[in-house]
Amino acid sequence: MSPLVEFKNQASIVVFGASGDLAKKKTYPALFGLFCHGELPATVKIIGFARSKMTEEEYKKRISEHFKISENDTQGQEFKTKFLELCSYISAPYDSDEGYVELEKQIDDFDAHHSHDKTQRLFYLALPPSAFITVAKQLKKNVHPREKGHAKLIVEKPFGHDLKSARELQASLAPLWSEDELYRIDHYLGKEMVKNLLVMRFGNEILGAAWNKNHIRSIQITFKEPFGTEGRGGYFDDIGMIRDVIQNHLLQVLTLLTMERPVSNDPEAVRDEKVKVLKAFDTDISLDDDVLLGQYTRSADGTKPAYLDDETVKAGSKCVTYAAIGMQIHNERWEGVPIVLRAGKALDEGKVEIRIQFKQVAKGLFTDVNRNELVMRIQPNEAVYMKLNNKTPGLSLATTTSELDLTYANRYSKDFWIPEAYESLIRDCLLGNHANFVRDDELEISWKLFTPLLEKIEAADGPTPFLYPYGSRGPLEGPEFMKKHGYVKSESNYQWPLTRPSEEKSKI
Ligand SMILES: NC(=O)C1=CN([C@@H]2O[C@H](COP(=O)(O)OP(=O)(O)OC[C@H]3O[C@@H](n4cnc5c(N)ncnc54)[C@H](OP(=O)(O)O)[C@@H]3O)[C@@H](O)[C@H]2O)C=CC1
Ligand SMILES: O=C1O[C@H](COP(=O)(O)O)[C@@H](O)[C@H](O)[C@H]1O
Q: List the alpha helices (DSSP H) in 219-266.
A: 233-236, 240-241, 251-258
Query: Would you say 150 and 9 are in contact if contact means Cβ atoms under 8 Å apart?
Result: no
Distance CA 84, CA 59 (A): 10
Query: Hey, which of 27, 52, 127 would you mutate to test ligand 1's pocket, going by the most ligand atoms within 8 Å of its Cβ?
Result: 127
Distance CA 229, CA 345 (A): 7
* Ligand positioned closest to the Cα atom of 252: 2
H or E stretch covering 353:
strand 351-358
Statement: residue 508 has pLDDT above 60: no
Query: Would you say 314 and 235 are in contact if contact means Cβ atoms under 8 Å apart?
Result: no
What SS3 string covers 363-395?
CCCCCCCCCCEEEEEEECCCEEEEEEEEECCCC
Answer left, alpha or beta for residue 220, where phi above 0 means left and psi between -120 and 50 means alpha: beta
Instruction: Report yes or no on whether pTM surpasses 0.90.
Output: yes
Q: Which residue has the higher pLDDT, 1 or 331?
A: 331
Distance CA 373, CA 313 (A): 40
* Ligand positioned closest to the Cα atom of 189: 2
What is the tens place of the pLDDT at every residue in 427-470?
999 999 999 999 999 999 999 999 999 999 999 999 999 999 99
With a 6 Å cutoff on the Cβ, whether 154 touches ligand 1 is no
| Closest ligand 2 atom, residue 249 Cα | 1
**Mean pLDDT calculated for residue range 152-165:** 96
What is the tens place of the pLDDT at every residue in 16-53?
999 999 999 999 999 999 999 999 999 999 999 999 99
The pLDDT, as a whole number, for residue 5 is 57
Q: Which of 211, 494, 133 is nearest to 376 (CA)?
A: 211
Query: Would you say 139 and 153 are in contact if contact means Cβ atoms under 8 Å apart?
Result: yes
**Mean pLDDT calculated for residue range 152-175:** 96
Q: Tell the CATH superfamily of the 10-156 domain.
A: NAD(P)-binding Rossmann-like Domain (3.40.50.720)
Contacts of 243 (CB under 8 A, 6+ apart): 158, 161, 450, 454
From 249, 330, 434, 485, active-site residue: 249
42 C-alpha to center of ligand 2: Å? 31
Query: Would you say 158 and 129 are in contact if contact means Cβ atoms under 8 Å apart?
Result: yes
501 C-alpha to center of ligand 1: Å? 56
Measured from CB, residues less than 6 Å from any atom of ligand 2 are 187, 225, 244-245, 352
Contacts of 140 (CB under 8 A, 6+ apart): 176, 177
Query: Hey, which of 21, 225, 236, 239 would you mutate to test ligand 2's pocket, going by the most ligand atoms within 8 Å of its Cβ?
Result: 225
Q: Is 502 exposed, middle or buried (0-12, 13-18, 19+ CB in 10 A)?
A: exposed
The pLDDT, as a whole number, for residue 234 is 83
The pLDDT, as a whole number, for residue 3 is 58
What is the tens place of the pLDDT at every residue in 181-238?
999 999 999 999 999 999 999 999 999 999 999 999 999 999 999 999 987 778 899 9
249 is catalytic: yes
Distance CA 368, CA 415 (A): 43
Q: Is 296 exposed, middle or buried (0-12, 13-18, 19+ CB in 10 A)?
A: buried
Q: Which of 344, 351, 422 is nearest to 380 (CA)?
A: 351
Query: Would you say 313 and 307 are in contact if contact means Cβ atoms under 8 Å apart?
Result: yes
With a 6 Å cutoff on the Cβ, whether 134 touches ligand 1 is no
| Closest ligand 2 atom, residue 187 Cα | 8
With a 6 Å cutoff on the Cβ, whether 161 touches ligand 1 is no
Spell out the domain ranges in the chain. 10-156, 190-484
CATH class of 190-484: alpha beta
